[in-house]
């Protein structure tokens, strides 16, 4: 299965499919078919994942 990445309007990147995510501290998350959301607003407290803060931070991705 191929990993799919979709940019959500005014929100995070949505990843679907098996992925291996390594953050700047070399923490690794591997998935099979779960859906994950990666922060692209820079305000999340759980980077690289989205914690929903983009909604209150006023992030726009036009």
Instruction: Establish if 15 lies at the interface with ligand FES (CB under 6 A).
Output: no
Nearer to ligand FES, 1 or 15 (CB): 15
Among 5, 53, 58, 62, binds ligand FES (CB under 6 A): 53
Q: Are 18 and 31 in contact (CB under 8 A)?
A: yes
Half-sphere exposure of 29 (CA within 13 A, CB side): 17
Instruction: Establish if 14 lies at the interface with ligand FES (CB under 6 A).
Output: no
Footprint on this chain of ligand FES (rule: CB under 6 A): 11-12, 39-41, 43-44, 50-54
């Amino acid at each position: 299965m191929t990993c799919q990445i979709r940019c959500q309007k005014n929100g995070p990147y949505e990843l679907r499919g098996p992925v291996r995510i390594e953050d700047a501290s070399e923490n690794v998350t591997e998935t099979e078919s779960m859906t994950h959301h990666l922060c692209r607003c820079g305000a999340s407290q759980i980077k690289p994942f989205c914690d929903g803060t983009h909604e209150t931070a006023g992030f726009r991705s036009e």
